Amino acid sequence: MNQHNSFWARRYYVSTVGLDEAKIRKYIQDQDLNESIEGKYDTDLSKPF
């Protein structure tokens, strides 16, 4: 939990107070950015060579 009484986890956002549209949009944008960064480092470990 943080000082804003909300809990963030991968793909989920839960708040103890109401959400506003700006927070939801920012969350979605952040998830898109994280996925693009993770995609750069995603490797297929079943075929290492």
Q: How far, in Å, CA of 4 to CA of 20, rounded?
A: 13
Q: Which of 18, 15, 11 lies closest to 3 in space, CA to CA?
A: 15
Q: How far, in Å, CA of 41 to CA of 49, rounded?
A: 16
pLDDT at 2: 44
Enumerate the domain spans of the chain.
6-39
3-state secondary structure of 12: strand
What amino acid occupies position 14? V
pLDDT at 1: 44
Give the pTM. 0.38
pLDDT tens readout for residues 2-48? 455 555 555 666 666 666 778 888 888 888 777 776 666 656 666 66
